[in-house]
Structure 1
């Protein structure tokens, strides 16, 4: 049982690296066409093409649930839940807290919350796919914790 808990947390933390990697090299790379509308609002829809990346990771998470369900991979449930939990955290921080797609968590004003907002603001100051910074989400460089 403890191995499943360890795998869950390792998967959750590994997903921060995956978010950074896919954001920097895929979203700001060959799939910029899907991510561009997130940096430059040239549409009236609540949905963005950028939301397609959520579906990609959801399918991977579901795949691990199925591997567990059909006794192919014993730790598949832990991995699938780790990916799911990171996706939920990412949605809460990125889409709700930072971009206010739902009007909640507006008054969060602790040191970490301010650092996350600063780092993301620095990322969005670049409207193009090049010269970006701060590609991660939950792990924020120390310089953004300063006042």
Structure 2
């Protein structure tokens, strides 16, 4: 697949947000960090959040609409994303009162970091191990780079 090169707007986003932006809860990133949701699931949550109708109390896009809006190609992938978002308490899926065989989605605010971490202790432990592993790798990479520079300098 060939990537298409697209020119940027040239406008730095932070501080210049006027139109066409939605604020999403930054606490969502804690769910990503702990491996509780994937990037696909984040995209689905954001789209449900955008389509949430405050007056009705739910979002009601169809599965095919969500697939187009998120770039998720398969129905089973979308079903897994919706099910996992429900499992981690970010949404609930309910039957529509007005349309047979139609679902509606209630979108919940993510938990604060402390509460989420207290509920996902195993994930927190895995994250800490990952941070340690990456920190060690970083130190080793710096040492290899230093040794390489020393070697190059001595050869000159």
TM range (shorter): under 0.3
Larger-Rg structure: 2
Report the structure, 1 or 2, having the larger helix content: 1
Provide the TM-score with structure 2 as the length reference.
Answer: 0.25
Q: Which has the higher contact order (CA 8 A, sep 6+)?
A: 1
Provide the TM-score with structure 1 as the length reference.
Answer: 0.26
Report the structure, 1 or 2, having the larger strand content: 2
